[in-house]
Amino acid sequence: MIDTLRLTAEAALGLLERGEVSAAELHRSYLDAIGERDDELHAYLRTVDAPNGAGVPIAFKDLISTRGVETTAGSKILEGFVPVYDATVVTRCREAGMPLLGKTNMDEFAMGSSTENSAYGPTRNPWDPERVPGGSSGGSAAAVTAGLAPWALGSDTGGSVKQPASLCGIVGLRPTYGTVSRYGIVAFASSLDQIGPMTKTVRDCALLYRIVAGRDPCDSTTVELPQPVEIPEREDLKGLRVGVPRELNEAEGIESGVKEVVERSIELCRQLGAEVGETSLPRSVEYGMPCYYLIAPAEASSNLARYDGVRYGLRVEGGDGIRAMYERTRDAGFGDEPKRRIMLGTYALSAGYYEAYYGQAQKVRTVIADEHAAAFRDFDVLVSPTSPTVAFKLGEKAENPLAMYLSDVLTIPSNMAGLPGLSIPCGLSDGLPVGLQLIGPQFSENTLFHVGYALERAIGFDFVPRRLQ
């Protein structure tokens, strides 16, 4: 009887290698768990019955194209759409022998921070089903948390891997931009989207990153990793310089419970031998949000133009010409958040406004990158809470877009600079998980894994939700 709630991918790999369990049995255990718990949680949009590989199974966020398996990106406009090709990350997982467990729920087109924007209904947080799992990779986060998958891939644009990982008490990596292929990933904001592993442990995260990372000739924005991925082993932080950016740690809206837990973790860094010091990112936090909410919707407005009912997806006929068909199809197929962002993005790019909005935002991006680079001259890693709050209640922010956007205030700045960020659970506040965000310079994943692992060992966070134990 496999306890999928507790089983890490690394442990599952061990079971398979030692022949203690077969791939079919392992797959079946997860499907059983899904049968038991997913009616309530709704982490999955669809599952795959039989394993198509001999390794550790994996779940993919539903914006990752899987050949022959429906891929909807959480939207009605792609309901029933079956890709004719696999995303590169899917191919790499398949070649590593990993069978597909299923496709997980998400905010429509990755736009959201709670998975409430899914056209197929929300996902619930396994720690408290009245609360959101975070978003947009809420389905993947809930699946891993509730033992419905040993590990999963999500996508992160403004924080959509890190934030749900934080709200669900698991590990999530947003990699350096350009280290994981976007070929086959339904695009939201091309200069920001990255695919990231979502796992129970930091070592699992490194193992999965190693499988998917590296230059892809099908994606012109990818590069080779300058060094191979190291699976972390060291449990101390001697020689590391840890920076605490004032603005990230004292931003408006950070709950006091979250602050407390994070401060304890920062103190732990000292105890593990790191040099800890304060630093500043003067404008990155204040201007990060507006910068993101100009660039991401602008790119999205263009990326979503292909959903026009011509070649695939939903089409709503009206009998009066193609323009009417476009408009009716898109009105019926897109939910509120994509519509808002398409309009916002179209505006930001339009004649007469480009310079002031999109153009200016691209410059702010340079400022943010420069500020982080300056901080990294003195520090190896920066820390902050991942999310200002623990998981909030379903419906709490759904009607207030601006309030929802603020969930990403801490994850956005480093994303704008293309920097990697690892979120690890570092404690509970009011019984709900708190995530610690570790930010590093480009290509510093090995450092992030090292720091994350050492802290993980020292903190000893139990990633199985209390109510499921």
Partner 1 sequence: MNWEPVIGLEIHIHLKTRTKMFCRCEVAYFEPENTRTCPVCLAHPGSLPVPNAKAIEWTIKLGLALDCEIAEHAVFHRKNYFYPDNPKGYQISQYDEPVCLNGRLTFPGPDGDAEIGIVRAHLEEDAAKNVHTGGAEGRIGGASATLVDFNRAGTPLVEIVTRPDLRSADQARRFLQLLRQTVVELGISDAEMEKGSLRFDVNVSVRPEGSDELRTRTELKNLNSFAFAAKAIQREVERQIGVYEAGGEVEQETLHFDPGAESAPPLRSKEEAQDYRYFPEPDLVPIEPPRELVERVRGELPELPGQRIRRLTTELDHDLALDLVTSGRDRLYVRVPGEERRAIANVLMNQFAVSGVDPEVVDAGELGKLIEARSRIPRDRFTEALAASGDPGFTAERYLGDGLVADTAELEPIVERILAANPGQVEAYRGGKEGLLGFFVGQVMKETQGKADPRVVNELVREKLKA
Partner 2 sequence: MTRLARLELTEDEVARFTEQLSAILEAVAKVSELDLANVEPTAHPLDVVNVWAEDEPRPSIPADDALANAPAREAGFFKVPPA
Residues 387-406 that bind partner 2 (CB under 8 A): 401-402, 405
168 contacts which partner out of partner 1, partner 2, none, CB within 5 to 8 A by kind? none
Whose Cβ is closer to partner 1: residue 146's or residue 185's? 185
Candidate ranges 32-40, 184-192, 244-252, 387-395; the one touching partner 1 (CB under 8 A): 184-192
**Cα–Cα distance for residue pair 37/12, rounded to 1 Å:** 20
Whose Cβ is closer to partner 2: residue 287's or residue 392's? 287
Query: Considering the rule CB under 8 A, would residue 81 count as an interface residue with partner 2?
Result: yes
Integer CA distances (angstroms), 15 to 26, 33, 57, 333, 386, in order? 9, 18, 13, 44, 33
Query: Considering the rule CB under 8 A, would residue 369 count as an interface residue with partner 1?
Result: no
| Residues near 246 by beta carbon (within 8 Å), at least 6 away in sequence | 278, 279, 280, 281
Query: Considering the rule CB under 8 A, would residue 322 count as an interface residue with partner 1?
Result: yes
Phi, psi of 358 (to 5 degrees): -60, -50
Kindly state the helix (H) or strand (E) to which residue 47 belongs, with its residue range. strand 44-47
Whose Cβ is closer to partner 1: residue 358's or residue 392's? 358
Question: Is 350:218 a contact under the CB 8 Å cutoff?
Answer: no
Alpha helices in 304-411 (DSSP H): 322-333, 336-349, 360-378, 401-405
241-245 vs 381-385, strand pairing mode:
parallel
Q: Which of residues 173-202 bind partner 2 (CB under 8 A)?
A: 177-178, 191
Kindly state the helix (H) or strand (E) to which residue 44 belongs, with its residue range. strand 44-47
Q: Which of residues 346-365 bind partner 1 (CB under 8 A)?
A: 346, 349-351, 354, 358
Query: Is-catalytic flag, 136?
Result: yes
**Binding-site member from 8, 29, 47, 65 for partner 1 (CB under 8 A):** 65
Integer CA distances (angstroms), 29 to 21, 43, 89, 90, 316, in order? 11, 16, 24, 22, 41
Whose Cβ is closer to partner 1: residue 158's or residue 465's? 158
Q: Which of residues 279-308 bind partner 2 (CB under 8 A)?
A: 283, 286-287, 289-291, 293-294, 301, 305, 308
Query: Considering the rule CB under 8 A, would residue 311 count as an interface residue with partner 1?
Result: yes
- Give the shortest CB-307-to-partner 2 separation in angstroms: 10
For residue 185, the cross-strand partners are 64
CA 354 to chain centre: 29
Query: Is-catalytic flag, 61?
Result: yes
Question: Is 32:5 a contact under the CB 8 Å cutoff?
Answer: no
**Binding-site member from 1, 39, 49, 217 for partner 2 (CB under 8 A):** 217
**Cα–Cα distance for residue pair 79/220, rounded to 1 Å:** 29
Query: Is-catalytic flag, 160?
Result: yes
Query: Considering the rule CB under 8 A, would residue 429 count as an interface residue with partner 2?
Result: no
**Binding-site member from 255, 308, 371, 380 for partner 1 (CB under 8 A):** 308
From the candidates 29, 65, 155, 160, give the one annotated as an active-site residue. 160
Residues with a known catalytic role: 61, 136, 160
Where on the chain is the footprint of partner 1 (CB under 8 A)?
63-65, 71, 73, 78, 81, 83-85, 87, 182-187, 189-191, 217-221, 298-299, 301-302, 304-306, 308, 310-312, 322-323, 326, 346, 349-351, 354, 358
